[in-house]
Amino acid sequence: MKNNTLIIIPAYNEENTIGNVIKGIRNVAQTSDIVVINDGSSDRTESAAKDAGAFVVNLPFNLGYGAALQTGFKYAVRHDYKYAIQMDGDGQHSPSSLKSLTTEIEKNNTDVVIGSRFLGDNNYNAPALRKIGMKIFSIITNFITGQKFTDPTSGYRAINNDILKFYSNDIYPVDYPDADVIIMLHQAGFRIMEIPVDMNPSLTGKSMHSGLKPIYYLFKMMLSIFVTILREPIREKV
């Protein structure tokens, strides 16, 4: 019998962590399929993921986080999954929260469940510059949507099939899909909610927001939000 849920993990040079991430998922989500989108890695990410029991889709070169995610969404649509959960391959997203995300999305009371590291009893401590960016985009997202989001940049999310199809379109921002995606979903009439999840510091110490990247991220995200606001809302969900 085919599984309903696909766990999508974009990965770039994560050979040291991806195996443990998959094993951690297997401990709590035995019935979910796992696909790793190997984003042009130059190390053993592919073989480590396969050895741990995941499906692997190899991109020909490094396309970036958003493009890797969208590849996973298209894979889910092609294979007719009902739900998907996106996770990172560096160990930050704790598998202990998978059940909570799955339970909420399967209730069919929402289209997207965002896992927040700032709800509940979580004590997640982000770097200062990153924390400022989170706060800025939280204020902007809350103002535009009229809904409170504590962690609009979280990449730990559960989505249903309508969202999978929506994300597979050209409108999906393949650079940094964060707060702009929430605004886009709100304008399209989708239902979005947040729940508390557990997150860990990156086991690799790497971040796509390291060095001067937060400045680039801030500029690109502001631009993307501006374009999203100006764009005529897409009402069609599939």
Beta bridge partner(s), residue 83: 5, 160
CATH class of the domain at 5-230: alpha beta
Predicted local distance difference test score (pLDDT) of residue 238: 46
The answer to whether the beta carbons of residues 144 and 157 sit under 8 Å apart is: no
Predicted local distance difference test score (pLDDT) of residue 147: 96
Alpha carbon distance 212, 185 (integer Å)? 29
Angle, in degrees to the nearest 10, between helices 213-230 and 128-145: 10
Angle, in degrees to the nearest 10, between helices 179-187 and 128-145: 10
Which of 2, 16, 21, 168 minimizes the C-alpha distance to 89?
21
Alpha carbon distance 82, 69 (integer Å)? 17
Question: Which helix (H) or strand (E) covers residue 74, if one does?
Answer: helix 65-78
Dihedral class, residue 5 (left if φ above 0, else alpha if ψ from -120 to 50, else beta): beta
Predicted local distance difference test score (pLDDT) of residue 202: 60
Beta bridge partner(s), residue 113: 158, 193
Predicted local distance difference test score (pLDDT) of residue 213: 67
Beta bridge partner(s), residue 112: 159, 192
The shares of helix, strand and coil residues in the chain, as percent rounded to the nearest 5, are 40, 15, 45
Torsion of CA 226, 154, 121, 190, to 10 degrees: 70
Q: Pairing relation of β-strands 112-116 and 157-160?
A: antiparallel
- Burial, 109: exposed, middle or buried (Cβ in 10 Å; 0-12, 13-18, 19+)? exposed
Residues in the chain with pLDDT values less than 50: 208-209, 236-238
Which of 106, 172, 90 minimizes the C-alpha distance to 98?
106
Question: What one-letter code names the amino acid at 182?
Answer: I
Question: Which helix (H) or strand (E) covers residue 69, if one does?
Answer: helix 65-78
What does residue 6 show for φ and ψ, rounded to 5 degrees?
A: -115, 130
Question: Which helix (H) or strand (E) covers residue 230, if one does?
Answer: helix 213-230
pTM of the predicted structure, to 2 decimals: 0.89
